[in-house]
Structure 1
C-alpha cells in the first residue's frame, strides 16, 4: 500500500506538466457540468449513538457521500480569459459565507486586491455555498450574483454553507481548479477574516528558487499530535464512530495556509480515496498523509491569534503586522485600516524609529552649543 502511494507520487511529479495539459479544457466556457441531485443516505442512522448527535453532524453524515453539486456562479475564464494574465503566480482562494458581504468588500480593497506585485500576478476567488433555504437564500443568491457581475470573483455551489461543509467547499474547489486553473503557481487558501500580507507572501515564494509551484509546498501554522475533541458540546466534536484514531495527522490551521499548484492537484487526486471529514483543515492533513507529503511550519503564519511583545504597544501596531505573512481573526474595519497603515510610506518601524530619535537628540544637543 505504502509503496503504491509512493509510486503514484513519483509518477505525478515526473509527469506534472503533462498532467496539467491533459486536464485543460479547450473551451471551458461552453463546458457545463451537471449531476443528479445527491440523495440522503438514511443508512447512517444505524450508526451507534446516532440519535444523540447534533443536527449539524447528522446532516453531515446523511450527505457525506456527496461530492458533486450544481454550480450556481462559475468563473470558467478566471485563469485563461482574454482579460486575465496568462501566468497567475498567486491565486487567493478565500472561504466566505453568503452573508459576509462587508468582509468581501474590504478584502477587495486591501490584501485581496487583484494586481501585479513585482511582476507577479495576484488573482482572487471567493468560494461560497448557499443559505439553507427560503427568502434568505434567494436574497443572498441575488446579492452574490450582483457581486459576480461587478467583480467576477464569486465561485458558488448549491449546497448548505455550514461549518461542517467547509471540507466539501475545499473538495469542490480543488475539483474546479483541476479543470479550470491547473497552471496556477501558488495558492493562498484562507478564511475571509484573516489579514494576509500578500506582498510578504510573494516575497517569500520568490525565495524558493527550486520551486516555481511545480514541487511540493504546504505551509502555515503547523499543528501536530492534535487529538479529536470528544465533548459533544464542542464546535469541533468528532465522535469515535466517525474517527477512532487517537491523533490526527499533522496539518496546518485552516484559517490560512500557502500551497503550491503541484500540491493542490495532488490533494485533489488523493482526496477521491479519503472520505470527507467534518473538520476541513484536518481533512487536508489526511489527504497530505495519504499522498505521503508533509505540511511545514511558517513562523509568520498565526492562525491561533497573536500577542504583541509589549503591553505599551497597540495590539494592532502596524510595525508588527508589516513583518507577518498571515494572521487570523480580524474585523473588517481593523483590516482596512491596518492594510493602509503598513503601506504608508511615512511609517517608521524598528531601527528607523531609533535612528529618528537619535537624530532628534543630536540636533537638540547642537542647539545648546
Structure 2
C-alpha cells in the first residue's frame, strides 16, 4: 500500500475501491469505473480500457479514431457475436442466471475504446442493471440498454498474434502477452522500419 500511496501522490493516477480484486469482481470494477468516468473524467474524447497482459499501440489507436467515421458514436474493439453461454468450466453461467443460449453482442474485454459521449448512457444503464459475472458480457448488456452501437476492427487481436514484429506495428491491441515478451515487442516496434 505504501507504493500505491506514493504513486497516487506523485501522479494522481490510482483509483481504489473497497472490494477484493478478483475475477468475480471485474463487473463491479467496470461499474465503478463508469461512475468515475462519468463524474471525474469529462475532458477526454476517448477512453481506452484494457487488460495488463497486452500490447497496446498508442500511435495506431490515435490514428484509428481520427480516421474512423463517426468514431465518437460507437464502442470500438473486437466484436463478439453469438458467443455461447457456457454451462461448465471457468466461464460457467447457470441457466437460472442466464437462460439463453447466446449472449448479446459485446466487445472482447481484452481491450477496447469508448467515446466520452457514450459514458453517461453506459453509467445510467449500470445503475439500472445488476452486475453480471463477466465484465465484457456485462458491458454488452449495458451497451444494449444504452442503445450504443459497435465498430469491429480485426486489429484488436483477442487471442494473441503470431507473426513478425511488423504485424505489431499495425496492430491496435494484442491480448495475452507475458510482460517479458511485451518489453521485447515494444523494443522491436520502436526500432522497426515497417510501414
State the TM-score, normalizing by the size of structure 2: 0.93
Q: Which residue of 2 aligns with 1:349?
A: 194
Among candidates 168, 177, 186, match of residue 330 of structure 1: 177
1:9 maps to which residue? none
By how many angstroms is 1:210 displaced?
Answer: 4.6
Secondary structure of 1:247's counterpart equals coil
Aligned residue among 43, 47, 53 for 1:183:
43
The match for 1:93 is none
Rg larger in structure: 1
Distance, in Å, in 1 between the alignment partners of 2:120 and 2:190 is 34
Q: CA deviation at 1:217?
A: 1.7
1-side partners of 2:31 and 2:185: how far apart?
Answer: 32
Q: Distance in 2 between matches of 1:210 and 1:223?
A: 21
Task: After TM superposition, give the deviation of residue 184 of structure 1 in Å.
Answer: 1.4
Instruction: Determine the structure 2 residue equivalent to 1:247.
Output: 102
- 1:291-306 mapped onto 2 (5 Å cutoff): 291-306=146-161
Q: Deviations over 1:227-273 (max 9, x none)?
A: 21101xx1111111111122100001101011201112221111212
Cα deviation per residue 1:30-82 (whole Å; 9 max; x = unaligned)? xxxxxxxxxxxxxxxxxxxxxxxxxxxxxxxxxxxxxxxxxxxxxxxxxxxxx
Aligned counterparts of 1:337 and 1:143: Cα–Cα separation in 2: 26
Could you tell me which runs of 5 or more consecutive residues in structure 2 were left unpaired when the two chains were aligned.
none
- 1:226 and 2:83 correspond: yes
Tell me the distance in 2 between the aligned counterparts of 1:262 and 1:349: 34
Distance 2:94 2:46 in 1: 35
Q: Find out whether 1:167 has 2:37 as its counterpart.
A: no
Residue 209 and residue 227 in structure 1: after superposition, are their counterparts in 2 closer, same or farther (change >3 A)? Answer: closer
Cα gap change, 1:210/1:278 in structure 2, threshold over 3 Å: closer, same or farther?
A: closer
Secondary structure at the aligned position of 1:244 is classed as: coil
1:328 and 1:262 mapped to 2: Cα distance? Answer: 26
- Larger RCO (CA within 8 A; separation ≥ 6): 2
Encode CA deviations 1:284-311: one digit per residue, 9 max, x unaligned: 0001111222222111001122233xxx
Q: CA deviation at 1:209?
A: 5.6
8 A Cα contact 2:85 2:92, kept in partner: yes
Find 1:285's aligned residue among 140, 145, 150: 140
Alignment root-mean-square deviation, CA: 1.6
